[in-house]
Structure 1
Amino acid sequence: MARVADSVRRTADFIADRRNNPGDIPDLFLAAEQSLLLGHPLHPTPKSREGLSDTESRLYSPELRGAFPLHWLAVDRSVLAMDSAWTERGRTVPADQLAARLAGPDLPLPDDHAVLPAHPWQIRELRHRPETAALLDAGLLKDLGPHGAPWHPTSSVRTLYRSGAPAMLKLSLALRITNSRRENLRKELHRGVEVHRLLRSGLAEQWQAAHPGFDVIRDPAWLAVTGADGEAVPGLDVMIRHNPFRPGDDATCIAGLVSPRPPAQPTGQDRPLMRSRLAVIITRLAGHTGRPRGAVATEWFLRYLQNVVRPVLWLDSEAGVALEAHQQNTLLLLDPDGWPTGGRYRDNQGYYFRESRRAELDKRLPGIGRQSDTFVSDEVTDERFAYYLGINNVLGLIGALGAERLAEERLLLAAFRRFLLAAASGPDRLRTPLPARLLDSPVLRCKANLLTRLHGLDELVGPVDTQSVYVTISNPLHT
């Protein structure tokens, strides 16, 4: 109950702040990332952040357009762990060099040390941990303090962005955000680099040939600290992510696109109090084309299926890799008019390598999965894929379009059925079992966020099949 109250209070603060400060951000990607004011519509505590004071919230919350300099540590190379598949002009750039570039040339660094960026809030937390305190006392970690230009929190809070920087940083942050404390795990760092190497094995070229508008935002390098005992020191792991976006690129996560937003001024009784950006786009398209809004919304949805959903199905079909493509992990690329033209997937946590395709994947990248713990039984993969892509992403989008009276949900469900039928049995059918599962199953398994919270589960800890509570629901696609 305390977490529910905390989430409600913070959400009210976010809405009030945005009404009082409605100014636009010139960087379109950052503006989209910081537009998700309400969070997951089916989560009991989408904006709770235990341990974050009001003052800290002002600095570290994307909803309040926070910005802050990174806190830097010097790590003795005897305890430094890292890996990199980041290449420039055909040569690999080590992770410590990438971090040094991001820090800039004027950060003083002792000899035989590498720089490691950390979230300022996390530094306070780490000082109280025995493992980190021992490294600081031994001089193997040195606190260099805050330094450099401000970075901006994105919709995931602990993934930071700076306009024009070549990389984003996914930092460890011991705040409980939605269902988990957001500290990177070493296997997730390995997974990000591994997926990058897998795609570079020739898979990306095949994928781009079939779907040139879609790709994965790569996580090709990481830095961390390993103690004298050889064990990972938790709370310091840093993922270095490609930043493929220029300030003018209109790339928006689906969750932010469909989330209602407060208007700049309070509205009258004849206008909705809050509208999503998607509602604004579709209404504008209807006005420009002279077509009914429902017809425009349906065409928009069909283009979304072709440009975003089918490429995700292709990857499962051709490689046996299912993506945890929920609405916050899925970025949509829009043309100047607002039509979907492509997409990007992001999340080094959310990959499922099918156990049945292990031999194929190992042939593409020998040794795959040994350190990343990414192979999952087909049964669990099917359940999670159906939830994340089918229920959370597409049915969530249909629900959003229906809730704002932009289109008739029955028509969109029928359009989704036709799309799935073509993917399952048409001339261009795919080998993924997901379309048939969504069409033929009378019920589906759906993640229960309230029960997951009540059970005290952390979705980043333990086996993937027991990290969350799932319940059975009726399948609205089944006929």
Structure 2
Amino acid sequence: MTKDNVTIDRSRQTSYPSAISPSRLAHQETLSRMLNAYLRETEQHDPYIRLATNPDLSLVIKLPRTNQRIFGNLLHRSAAGHHVYGDKFHIAESEEAQPDGWRELSFEQITTLLLDEISSVEPNLDVRMLKRTELEQMVYNSLEHMTSYLEHALNSPSPVTLDFRYLEQTLLCGHPFHPTPKSLEGFSFSDSHAYSPEFGVNFALNCFAAAPELVLEDWLDTVDYGSEAPWVPAEMSEAALTHLPPECRHYVLLPCHPWQAAYLRTLEPVKSLLQQGNLIDLGSTGPAVYPTSSVRTVWNPKDSCFYKLSLHIRITNFIRENNEEQLLRTLDASRIVQQIQDRWTSEKFQILLEKGYRSLKVPEIPSSTQDALISGFSMILREAPESSRSASGAPYVVASLMEVLPGETEPLLFRAVQESLQSSSSPDDRVHDVRVQTDWYAWLRQYLELSMVPLVELYAQTGISLEAHVQNSMLRLEDGMPAAFVVRDLEGISVNRTLAEQQGWIDQVVAANSPVLYTEEESRYRLKYYFFVNHLSHVVQRLAYYTGQMEQPYWKVVRHTLEELQKKTTESSHINDVICDLLNAETLPAKANFLSRFHQRGETPLYVNIPNPMR
């Protein structure tokens, strides 16, 4: 046994059988996420063990603050911490204990042990118990929602062929390093069934009309201002013509999520504006939209765009509303991306622009009330990929491609590759098992050429660090191979201030104090986490585990691709420095979601270091 990432026992490597219940599957998926997050955040990067007294066990999880250890089976040993576990866990007084001294642990008992260990970092007992209780509630909140999503998926037929909408709505288990990946605070059970993408729903948008002097908006293009803008849905324009009195026909339309509209109507400042007639509630107007993997961003297929709407609910770590700084960040980021779009984007590498935003801003009211109105009414318009409505060749959300649906034995990625191959071949030539018949090393090389290479080049030459984690990334396939890579959600990008200055963007494209500007160290740090740790390590683990291989040969493909890119650079260039850092740094940064969730640091998450798998 080497220290490389290895599948421990190939004879035991199985996906969940189709007979497994959604509840049990949700428990296993939740436990896997808690364990992976806990091990990563306590620097237990290689939890492999061999015990003379119990040779069937291969996993140890140390709980040093509470002086205990959990033992189990390690089915896959991952360089970046995406371990896969057996379904039985034990505890014993010591590693030397005889078989009768080992006690099997339930999901609830393991959860208690992990929460006790994590919470022990808080010295104040009262604060500790309060935070621990809240985190425990969110673990079970997430578990309950995940169970309902898996049950719905198991009882609902999947489409004959995969499509854009289905992949947007099939992120059933979520972030692989998060203790509460599907927690929702604010949605009732009926709300979730009406508005959660995991239930495959669509719904009509609501709309408000506001006096022009109360509207806060900014756009890349002047044509998008006001209610006559081409992006305003026809349904909303028709509702305004029908329901607005003549003296209010010049009011500006504000699209709104129906849940959020109901919430906003309960706020006193909103009630006051409605009574004064400065704000008019047009109710449910349409169009019909589909919630996507982020829940609050919805896809409008008719007008081929996305609306990133505000929702006053906590999804995982955050209340999902767009505050004024986030609106500014988003549009500043889009303005900078617009500067480089012609030179850096192509059919194979695309960045979806945020076209602008609109919200409500009432003068001469307390700042806290002002902030609540801006955040509550804010809406961001985003481009949709041109091929999103295509019957074939649409891009798929990478996070959903990594999911293994209940009753299935492999991630959706393998089905997507299979369908892509079948659509381009004759019946006699069709591949029947893509896991065996696809050269996955060549597949990964092509994937890296479309994603990693342009991301690194873009960062090194322009300073733009895209937040290309798996939920912000989409992949289009042709003949089963990667054909196009799409990045979305520009609010999370960071731009190297020094390079922005060199390109004349400061004070010309964005202000000197723009929240999108970062130091070189910060912007590079975010690139390392979002793409290499969050994104690439997940793809590598899925390819290795489900093809029955070790991870390290896939990481060698990553390293070789970076080395080939480095050969095209000069030693003194910035890109050479970036590549050397990626190849040789001992560690990479990883977000500590377990600790951040406990400490309630959604907006300012904690980070830890993990060993660099590319070394």
- Report the TM-score, using the length of structure 2 for normalisation: 0.69
Matched, 1:276 2:415: no
Cα pair distance change 1:364/1:33, threshold 3 Å = same
Out of 158, 166, 169, the residue aligned to residue 34 of structure 1 is 169
Question: Who is 2:282 aligned against?
Answer: 144
User: Which 10-residue stretch deviates more, 225-234 or 65-74?
Assistant: 225-234
Q: What is the one-letter code of the residue matched to 1:311?
A: P
Matched, 1:252 2:396: yes
Q: How does 1:78-477 map to 2 (within 5 A)?
A: 78-86=213-221, 92-94=223-225, 96=227, 97-98=229-230, 100-107=232-239, 108-109=243-244, 110-201=248-339, 203-208=340-345, 212-229=347-364, 231-232=370-371, 233=373, 234-245=375-386, 246-248=388-390, 249-263=393-407, 273-281=408-416, 288=431, 293=436, 296-335=439-478, 337-363=479-505, 366-370=508-512, 372-405=514-547, 407-427=549-569, 431-432=574-575, 433-459=577-603, 467-477=604-614
Q: What is the one-letter code of the residue matched to 1:477?
A: M
Question: In 1, are the aligned partners of 2:497 and 2:517 still within 8 Å (CA)?
Answer: yes
Q: What does the per-residue CA deviation read over 1:369-428, in whole Å, with 9 as the maximum and x for residues that have no partner?
A: 457411111222222111111111111111122232354311101111111222334459
1:145 to partner: Cα distance: 0.8
Out of 50, 54, 62, the residue aligned to residue 197 of structure 2 is 62
Cα pair distance change 1:405/1:100, threshold 3 Å = closer
1:93 to partner: Cα distance: 3.2
DSSP-derived class of the 1:183 partner? coil
Structure 1, gaps ≥5 residues long: 264-272, 460-466
1:217 to partner: Cα distance: 0.7
Cα pair distance change 1:290/1:388, threshold 3 Å = closer
**Structure 1 vs Structure 2: percent identity of aligned residues?**
27
Question: Who is 1:268 aligned against?
Answer: none
- Count of residue pairs the alignment pairs up: 454
Cα pair distance change 1:445/1:418, threshold 3 Å = same
1:456 to partner: Cα distance: 0.5
1:132 to partner: Cα distance: 2.8
Question: In 1, are the aligned partners of 2:335 and 2:509 still within 8 Å (CA)?
Answer: no
Question: In 1, are the aligned partners of 2:453 and 2:562 still within 8 Å (CA)?
Answer: no
1:183 to partner: Cα distance: 0.3
Q: What does the per-residue CA deviation read over 1:60-119, in whole Å, with 9 as the maximum and x for residues that have no partner?
A: 111101111111111111101112224xxxx73325324533534420333331111111
Q: What does the per-residue CA deviation read over 1:108-161, in whole Å, with 9 as the maximum and x for residues that have no partner?
A: 333331111111111232233344333233322111111123211000111111
Q: What is the one-letter code of the residue matched to 1:133?
A: K
Q: What is the one-letter code of the residue matched to 2:362?
A: G
Q: Counterparts of 2:443 and 2:598 in 1: how far apart (Å)? A: 38
User: Which 10-residue stretch deviates more, 280-289 or 31-40?
Assistant: 280-289
Q: Counterparts of 1:197 and 1:428 in 2: how far apart (Å)? A: 30
Q: Counterparts of 1:80 and 1:391 in 2: how far apart (Å)? A: 40
Cα pair distance change 1:175/1:428, threshold 3 Å = farther
Cα pair distance change 1:364/1:377, threshold 3 Å = closer
Q: Counterparts of 1:100 and 1:280 in 2: how far apart (Å)? A: 37
DSSP-derived class of the 2:280 partner? strand
Out of 137, 140, 144, the residue aligned to residue 9 of structure 1 is 144
1:167 to partner: Cα distance: 2.1
DSSP-derived class of the 1:135 partner? helix
Structure 2, gaps ≥5 residues long: 1-135, 422-428
DSSP-derived class of the 2:504 partner? helix
- Report the TM-score, using the length of structure 1 for normalisation: 0.88
Q: What does the per-residue CA deviation read over 1:180-229, in whole Å, with 9 as the maximum and x for residues that have no partner?
A: 1110122332333333333443x212113xx5411211111211111122
Question: Who is 2:16 aligned against?
Answer: none
Q: What does the per-residue CA deviation read over 1:31-79, in whole Å, with 9 as the maximum and x for residues that have no partner?
A: 1101211111111111111111111111111110111111111111110
Question: In 1, are the aligned partners of 2:417 and 2:434 still within 8 Å (CA)?
Answer: no
1:26 to partner: Cα distance: 7.6
**Cα RMSD (Å):** 2.6
Instruction: Indicate the structure (1 or 2) with the bigger Cα radius of gyration.
Output: 2
DSSP-derived class of the 2:344 partner? helix
Question: In 2, are the aligned partners of 1:69 and 1:149 still within 8 Å (CA)?
Answer: yes
Cα pair distance change 1:361/1:129, threshold 3 Å = farther
Question: Who is 2:15 aligned against?
Answer: none
Q: Counterparts of 1:33 and 1:290 in 2: how far apart (Å)? A: 25
Q: Counterparts of 2:614 and 2:437 in 1: how far apart (Å)? A: 20
Q: Counterparts of 2:230 and 2:218 in 1: how far apart (Å)? A: 11
Q: Counterparts of 2:140 and 2:541 in 1: how far apart (Å)? A: 26
User: Which 10-residue stretch deviates more, 163-172 or 430-439?
Assistant: 430-439
Q: What does the per-residue CA deviation read over 1:209-266, in whole Å, with 9 as the maximum and x for residues that have no partner?
A: xx54112111112111111228552211100111233422421111111111123xxx
Question: In 1, are the aligned partners of 2:462 and 2:500 still within 8 Å (CA)?
Answer: no
